[in-house]
Chains A and B, each alone.
Chain A
Amino acid sequence: MDTWVLDLISTYISALPFLVALIYFKKIKAYLIPVFVLVIVNVSVEVLTNIYIEIGRNANEVLHVFTIVEFCLLSCFFALFFKKYFNPLIIYSLMPLFGILSYLDYKINGLNSTDNFSLSVESFTLVVYTLFFFYFVLKNLIFDDLLAQPVFWICTAVLFYFSGNFVLFVFGNYMARVDLNKYIILRASIHAFFNVLYNVFLSLGFWKARIK
């Protein structure tokens, strides 16, 4: 029962960064626009998956597409941020590669399974991007007050969510085959917990955007 409460909170909290971003939309810099779009997509996917669950349909096909969109938007965010400092060609070049990978995942696992392979690759890549961001910021000291920067909180959100869920994504399909009910409970709790953290930090990031 408790996990369903957490799952419910996790579903509705995706609206929080969307609302905060909407309030401070005029203050949002160019590199945050992909994250704003992502937040809108998040809310839409949450609504859509809930509708699918209500009508008894498998929402995995939506999630397959969402994975690709999420990766591309977050990659654009990192690329736009790093564009000021160097040519982020490698970030742009990984996007189509990821698309091909997701297509292969769909071909191998089918549309109705969890796309744990794509999710794992996505998690790993985005965690690498965020760790590189932290390294870059420390090495070059580009910010006077790091905690006041929206980009810091966005990267923290990405790091928490994707690293926290990484093991879950990697072993997702295996656990589903072993014990589907236990897997659903575990996913609902772990994923929901990190999703709440993710959305709270994203909201914080957009909230910090109000400071010039």
Chain B
Amino acid sequence: MESKDQIDIFTLVIMSSMGILVLILFIVFFIALYQKRMLAHKTELVDTENKHQKKLLEASLEIAEQERVKIATNLHDDIGITLSVLKLNLSRAKKNINNQSVFDEIISASNKNIDDSLDTVRSIYNDIMPPTLMKLGFVKGMKELCNQINYAGASEITFSTVQENMEFDKKIELQLYRLVKEVLNNTVKHGKPNLIELNIEVKDNKLIVTILHNGIGITTEAIKKLSEQSTGLGLKSILTRTQLINATIDFSILNNQMAKVLIITPI
């Protein structure tokens, strides 16, 4: 019995040591291999993030460029031409200074040209820095936007909020305003709804913008696919502005009759 115990202890030690050797070999091999894989995965994630940031930057620059082109076109096509006509009118007025009726006509036409130019300047200014938003805040700015859409007549939009005064960063305010405006423009253009409901509320330091409409809806996945395939800037502008303010945007179809867009922005 005693010799069996002796053999057993020695066998146990040998078997244990060999077992541990195999186990350690496996552990070391596994660690070396797994570390490589994890590092490759981490590098891939960093590359993807860098590419994403680059795309975001390119989209931002493209949007800024488009805005500049729009302003330049307005300045050249409207104000430039109007000022040229004004100059011609001044020359005609100088020649017809003794002919009262012609002179009066030229002055009247010139006044109209100046009014048209001022309207164009106001329009450009309002587009760049919406005065209601800048002076009266986000809620009033949204109300003004809804009024503009209602005035255009394509859809009827109702605005609701429980908080009339919302104070947050002006940069986020402007970007969010432009984002909501872009979403509403796209909704009216592509969704063709009769009715739109726009609701704004603040909850847990987050500003929640909810847009419900009875037009053609779209999902977030479809939006992402379209933005990759499409050359238009509308969708890219929406996604870019969302990322710039660290917001999330979700497009969903509730049922056959209703679709929803939810924008959540930390403030």
Contact = CB atoms under 8 A, between A and B. Distances in A.
Interface residues of B, number: 23
Nearest to B3: A179
B13 A186 contact: yes
Contacts of B170: none
Interface of A: 134, 137-138, 141, 143-144, 146-147, 152, 156, 159-160, 163-168, 171, 174-175, 178-179, 182-183, 186, 190, 194
B14 A186 contact: yes
B21 interface: yes
A167 B9 contact: no
Interface in B10-40: 10, 12-14, 16-17, 20-21, 23-24, 27-28, 31-32, 34-36, 38-39
Contacts of A152: 32
A182 B13 CA distance: 12
B35 A163 contact: no
Q: Which of B13, B14, B28 is most buried by chain A, counting CB atoms within 10 A of its CB?
A: B13
Contact of B6 (A160, A167, A168, A178): A178
Nearest to A131: B27
A138 B10 contact: no
B29 to A, nearest CB: 10
A138 B34 contact: yes
Contacts of A183: 10
B35 A164 contact: no
A164 B9 contact: no
A146 B35 CA distance: 7
B42 interface: yes
Nearest to B43: A144
Contacts of B17: 164-165, 167-168, 190, 194
A159 B9 contact: no
Contacts of B28: 156, 159
A186 B21 CA distance: 16
Contacts of A178: 5-6, 9
A169 B31 CA distance: 27
Contacts of A182: 6, 10
Given A164-B17, A166-B20, A190-B17, A175 B10 contact: yes
B13 A175 contact: yes
15 contacts: A134-B27, A146-B31, A152-B32, A163-B20, A163-B24, A164-B17, A164-B24, A168-B13, A168-B17, A171-B9, A178-B6, A186-B10, A190-B17, A194-B17, A194-B21
B253 to A, nearest CB: 42
Contacts of B23: 163
Contacts of A175: 9-10, 13
B31 A160 contact: no
A180 to B, nearest CB: 11
Given A159-B24, A186-B13, 11 more contacts: A138-B38, A141-B35, A143-B35, A152-B32, A159-B27, A159-B28, A163-B20, A163-B24, A168-B13, A171-B12, A186-B10
